[in-house]
Amino acid sequence: MPGNWLLYDRSGRMGWATTMGNGTDTYEVGDRRPLASRQTRWADRSAAFLAERNVSPNAISIAGMFFGILAGAFLAATPYVDSIPRRILFLLAVAAVQFRLLCNLFDGMVAVKTHRASRTGELFNEIPDRVSDPATLIGAGFALGGLPWLGYLAAIMALFTAYVRAVGKVAGAQQEFCGPMAKQQRMAVVTIVSLYCALVPQRWQGGWTSHGFGIMAVALAVIVAGSVITVFRRLFKISHTLKNSTR
C-alpha cells in the first residue's frame, strides 16, 4: 500500500519516504526547512482540506510564485499613489507575502498527504522561490522609501544564500537553512516594514534624503547585511559537515 514514513538521517534532520503501491519504488524527500507551523493543527487541517479536493502540490508552488510577484508589484506601485490607495497597496503587499509563505508551507504537506512527493516536486518546490524572492525584494527597492539598487542587491543575496544551500547538498552535506536571513526572516522584515508603512504618516516612511532613502531602504540594508552573515554561517556549517564526513 502507498504510505509515508517519517525518516531521520544521521544528523537528525527530518525527511519523508513515499512508498508507491507496488512496494518497489520509494522516493525519499530530502531535508525540509524546519517550520514550527508545520506541526500545528490548523496547518494540518488546511493541508488535509486541500488534499481532499485533489489540489496539486505543484499548483500550490506556482501560486506561491505569483503571490511573490504580486507582492513586488504592489510595493513598486506605492510611489505613484497617495494617501489611502498607498496604504492599501502596502497592506496588499503584506497579504501577498503571507499567502506566498502559506503556499510554501502547504505544497510539501499536501504532497505528503496525497502521496505525490517526487523528484519533479523538488523542482517545483525550489524554482518558484527563486522567482518570488527577487520579485518581492526588487519591488521593495522601488517602493516608497526604498532604493532600487538595494532591492537588486537584496535579491542577489537571497539567491546566493539559496545557492550555497544547494551546493552544500550537491557536495554531500545536509541542507543548511540557518539564518539570520533565511527566506522566512527576509519576508518577515518586508512584512513588518510594509505594515508599518501602511499605518504611519508618509513623512515617517521615507524621503529622508534627496535620493529618497527611507524605512524600506533600511529594511533592505538589514536583509543584505543579514544575508551576508547567513552565507558565511551556511558555508561554515557545510564545510564542517564535509570535513567530518571524510574522517
| pTM, full prediction | 0.84
Q: What is the pLDDT of residues 74-113, one digit of tens each?
A: 999 999 998 899 999 999 999 999 999 999 999 888 988 8
Q: What is the pLDDT of residues 197-222, one digit of tens each?
A: 999 987 777 665 556 789 999 999 99
Residue 118 Cα to chain centre, angstroms: 20
Q: What is the pLDDT of residues 115-139, one digit of tens each?
A: 776 677 778 888 999 999 999 999 9
Between CA 228 and CA 235 the distance in angstroms is 11
> What average pLDDT score do residues 27-34 get?
58
Whether the per-residue pLDDT at 223 is higher than 70: the answer is yes
Cell numbers linked to 161: 544564500
User: What is the pLDDT of the chain when averaged over all its residues?
Assistant: 84
Q: What is the pLDDT of residues 31-49, one digit of tens each?
A: 666 666 677 888 889 999 9
Between CA 162 and CA 123 the distance in angstroms is 13
The CA radius of gyration of the chain, in Å to the nearest whole number, is: 20
pLDDT at residue 196 in the model = 95
Neighbours of 91 (CB within 10 A): 16
